[in-house]
Structure 1
């Protein structure tokens, strides 16, 4: 998210999380004024290979509740970040997935992150608008809850619902580029349709 009016428009739909990208090379780079949001929405700062002091500065400046690491941050880096951030700040570690992805690489990150996020490996750290082969998740060896991401649009909702029927610990569905009219400008009606579709599924299947 980037534009104040659009932020408030989407916030009215009560998403669980809203992301703000603090990577200057991104077309979605956020450096504006963040309007007051409902307390139920977790304000999430998205960072790529950022220094820990700069992350802490943004957390304090924008009163973020979550930090999403979208680069090649190491175990040592995540260890230091966990020690530095206030205990109530969630850490979401992103892993870009291709056919050769080794899920065993996740294990040392498990005690350092609250959630993983699986996105499609592409030219950019995120927002590439493409999906990876979700069948790969059948090899997921962890109980750590994760966000599912990667080019998810309205036409993927049926596929998403099938994944939610499995025993995989899917915590959240992360959407971005397929719901934009331009970078960082979200289409309210598309977002509402996605939320309603997922809420209908949750109520039908009693899975939060």
Structure 2
């Protein structure tokens, strides 16, 4: 069954929602973002989280020592990197489960079939494919062309992100066959997590065989 990650949790209400609905993963964003949380908040929220849900920390070009401090003190299960982190940087986290993000422009109609070659040699478990547009990535609420993935040699677990919703996630799963789907803005209303949207999204994913 496809795993589910609800990213960008920052309120006690968000924790209550996921504790009831039980996605597989949740994400705390430590990078600059409207969904950013600091270590203190992540520790408080994480302590209230159902033990069966794994915690993912999202970082962008953060100092290695600071990432390790946050990972240890917030009891993170997965470290997810969205910046320019290279192979040597990622190799410093060999005691952790690592996901690395790569953005795909929503305007692309074709894609270099070797685009994943560098990622495939990285010491990581999963690759997060997110949407970008003219240099801006993440949180766009728009998806790239999932059919482009059929040309890519993806050797890591695929975590599909970018523009997902309860309306399109079934199609996304059918085309991309991901390990997990990752959603944030698609389950929000007026910038905050919406219980009913999360519920509907999770139900749609788990209807898939």
Match of 1:155 among 156, 167, 170: 167
Cα distance 1:108–1:158, how it changes in 2: closer, same or farther (>3 A)? Answer: closer
Stretches of structure 2 that go unaligned for 5 or more consecutive residues are 1-8
Contact 2:17 2:195 in 1 (8 A): yes
Q: Does 1:60 align with 2:72?
A: yes
Moved more, 118-127 or 1-10: 118-127
Match of 1:106 among 97, 111, 116: 116
Q: Which residue of structure 1 aligns with residue 93 of structure 2?
A: 81
Q: What pairs up with 1:1-208 in 2 under 5 angstroms?
A: 1-23=9-31, 25-31=32-38, 32=41, 33-34=44-45, 35-82=47-94, 86=95, 89-98=96-105, 99=108, 101-110=111-120, 111-122=122-133, 123-163=135-175, 168=177, 170-183=178-191, 185-202=192-209
Compute the RMSD of aligned alpha carbons: 1.8
Question: Using CA pairs below 8 Å that are at least 6 residues apart, which structure has the higher relative contact order?
Answer: 2
TM-score (norm 1): 0.84
Stretches of structure 1 that go unaligned for 5 or more consecutive residues are 203-208
Q: Which whole-Å CA distance do the structure 2 matches of 1:171 and 1:112 have between them?
A: 18
Equivalent residues, number = 191
Q: Which whole-Å CA distance do the structure 2 matches of 1:126 and 1:161 have between them?
A: 19
TM-score (norm 2): 0.84
Give SS of 1:104's match.
coil
Contact 1:22 1:30 in 2 (8 A): yes
Contact 2:115 2:152 in 1 (8 A): no
Q: Which has the higher strand share?
A: 2
